[in-house]
């Protein structure tokens, strides 16, 4: 007995969505890891503010990682869980030590641009396959991220 037996989604459609979610999971795992490094290594006059903000961001990313992985499971997939696998496919790359606030914020904007693009692609695949639940989950992610982009661009202005 499988969850997908009860969801009313064709296996072919669910498989296509899982593929996109696996990509998103890998991207989020690298995003999360880089955020931890930014949190640890930030320096400068904005240290207290940004240190706390980056912790907020990585806590939020960790929640999203869990939601993505659970959605993969609901759709009959098995979420990748080896970091070596994430490194092979993630569009977000590892960073070295970065301490400059402006450089970090620009990297975050670049990462969010990539995450948003993958989420939109996954929403399209999910919508075409009748998977409203995945589309809804990721639409919620988008609203949050668009506000974060606005705030980060304001910071750099």
pLDDT number for residue 2: 81
Ordered domains of the chain (ranges, CATH): 9-156 (1.20.1260.10)
Q: Give the separation between CA 88 and CA 20, rounded to whole angstroms.
A: 15
Query: From the CA atom positions of the chain, what is the Rg in Å?
Result: 17
Other C-beta atoms within 10 Å of 136: how many?
11
**69 backbone φψ class: left, alpha, beta (φ>0; ψ -120 to 50):** alpha
What is the pTM assigned to this prediction?
0.96
Is pLDDT of 132 > 80?
yes
**pLDDT value at position 1?**
62
* N-to-C CA span, the chain: 54
Per-residue pLDDT tens digits for 2-28: 888 898 999 999 999 999 999 999 999
């Amino acid at each position: 007995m499988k969850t997908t037996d009860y969801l009313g989604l064709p296996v072919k459609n669910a498989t296509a969505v899982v593929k996109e979610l696996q990509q998103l999971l890998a991207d989020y795992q690298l995003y999360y890891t880089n955020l931890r490094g930014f949190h640890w290594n930030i320096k400068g006059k904005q240290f207290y503010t940004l240190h706390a903000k980056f912790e907020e961001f990585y806590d939020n990313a960790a929640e999203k990682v869990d939601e993505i992985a659970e959605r993969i499971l609901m759709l009959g997939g098995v979420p990748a869980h080896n970091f070596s696998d994430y490194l092979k496919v993630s569009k977000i790359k590892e960073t070295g030590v970065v301490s400059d606030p402006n450089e970090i914020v620009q990297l975050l904007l670049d990462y969010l641009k990539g995450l948003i693009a993958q989420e939109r692609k996954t929403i399209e695949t999910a919508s075409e396959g009748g998977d409203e639940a995945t589309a809804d989950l990721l639409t919620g992610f988008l609203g949050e991220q668009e506000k974060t982009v606005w705030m980060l661009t304001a910071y750099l202005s």
